[in-house]
Amino acid sequence: MSLNERRAKFVYEGARLHAIQLECPVIPKSWEEREEDFKEQFRELIFDLCSGKKEFQDFEEAHNSWMRKYFEMGWIHGEKYDPENRIHPDLVPYNELDPKEKVKDEVFVRLVEIARDCIW
């Protein structure tokens, strides 16, 4: 497994574990179960963030970046999470997110920093 793959999996599964512990309404599938188009864009994002090619100024920017990628992959907003039909309730502006969902963006950014600094 490449360095970037290990970092991407660490960030993804760490964020997933956080969502489980917070009992968030949306708990993503495990890394192994995710769609290949998702994993591809996520690996690219992790590479860009760990290499310094990309940087988020704040957690809202991280959320907006996530929303853009999901829209590009064909996801739409809906009240109930439905991964088979690519419907996600968190495809809303940052200020409309539940506090549990907002903290997920903060955790993601911090996990990227750990992956960059501690996984080699």
User: What confidence tens digit (pLDDT) does each residue in 1-38 have?
Assistant: 999 999 999 999 999 999 999 998 889 999 999 999 99
Instruction: Provide the whole-model pTM.
Output: 0.91
Identify which of 10, 109, 9 has the alpha carbon closest to the alpha carbon of residue 61.
Answer: 109
pLDDT score at 53: 95
User: What confidence tens digit (pLDDT) does each residue in 34-90 have?
Assistant: 999 999 999 999 999 999 999 998 999 999 999 999 999 999 999 999 999 999 999
Read off the DSSP letter of residue 77.
Answer: E
How many whole angstroms separate alpha carbon 106 and alpha carbon 110?
Answer: 6
Total number of domains constituting the chain: 1
pLDDT score at 25: 87
Instruction: Tell me the residue range of the domain where 22 lies.
Output: 3-118
